[in-house]
Amino acid sequence: MFAGFELDMIQLPEATLRVRYGGSGPPILLLHGHPRTHTTWHRVAPLLARRFTVVCPDLRGFGQSSKPIDADNDEASSKRAKARDCVALMKHFGFERFHLAGHDRGSSTAFRTAMDHPSSVSKLAVLDSVPILEALERCDANFASRWWHWFFFAQPHKPEQAILADPDAWYGGSAEAMGAENYRDFRAAIHDPETIKGMLGDYRAGIRVDPLHDREDRAAGRKLRCPVHVLWSRRDDMEELYGDVVSVWQPWTARPVTGVGIDCGHHMAEEAPEALAEELERFFTSKAVM
């Protein structure tokens, strides 16, 4: 897994992140979603590393990265805080400017990084997501019945109790589908109470803090300045919930948004790595510039 990559614990001003990195060329930062760790990229990162320097961290609160000291401080779990980690991490490697792709919850951190640090992000790819404020403002019975976990995970104490009673039954997954080493890393994460609390902090911030940041941006007329490419899983529910997924993103950007669906389920990096890597490589090597 990740042949030719290095693995390290990197201390940043606000967090210590477990990071896998390798390859050479223009830098790409890949951000995983919930409940995964950086190892979800194990089939995609080596393909991209043929042309890029690829950096894959466990997000703050996830995997083996550090957890917010005050776990009840939503700001410490906010996408804004994690965006600062992203910029600091890439500066650690000597990159002032980089391409960025995020999946699921990681896409929300990617969005916030590009919004708060426009001079740092060259291009942004968002996978299986819409802006958090858009999701909440469009919430109806269909969304609530499918994405009920957003609201349950934001509650105090009870989500930890429910998940930790049987993490394997709660999250599922298999070595056959995910790859043996990725599955072992995933299981270690979901069986760790501190990691469960750290991951839930991402959802608590997603209800209480992150939408406020989105709303402030919209009120101030701030938009993403870099090229944005949207990818979604055709066998997931993005099209059913939002119809034209690209159009949901367009008001948040100052440029035309591009996008395409990929024929797979939600965890596209594990289910369709070649198609995903090809799409990311095409976007990140295209002539569109900031």
What tens digit of pLDDT does each residue of 87-106 get?
A: 999 999 999 999 999 999 99
CA distance 144 to 191: 27
Which pLDDT does position 233 carry in this prediction? 97
Given a contact cutoff of 8 angstroms between Cβ atoms, the answer to whether 132 and 108 are in contact is yes
| pLDDT single digits (tens) 116-171 | 999 999 999 999 999 999 999 999 999 999 999 999 999 999 999 999 999 999 99
| Three-state secondary structure call for residue 158 | helix
Of the residues 58, 74, 104, 128, only one is catalytic, namely 104
CA distance 245 to 260: 9
* C-alpha distances in Å from residue 225, one per residue of 84, 118, 142, 187, 245: 18, 7, 32, 38, 19
| pLDDT single digits (tens) 227-257 | 999 999 999 999 999 999 999 999 999 999 9
Residue range 183-205: average pLDDT?
Answer: 97
Which pLDDT does position 290 carry in this prediction? 44
Residue range 72-84: average pLDDT?
Answer: 93
CA distance 132 to 193: 26
Identify whether 128 is a catalytic site residue.
no
> What's the pTM value of the predicted model, to 2 decimals?
0.97
Identify whether 237 is a catalytic site residue.
no
Question: What's the chain's average pLDDT?
Answer: 96
Residue range 74-98: average pLDDT?
Answer: 97
* Residue 271, C-beta contacts closer than 8 angstroms, at least 6 positions apart: 177, 233, 264, 265
The partner residues of 87 in beta bridges, in order of sequence, read none
- Strands (E) across the chain are located at 6-11, 16-23, 27-31, 53-57, 98-103, 121-127, 228-233, 258-262
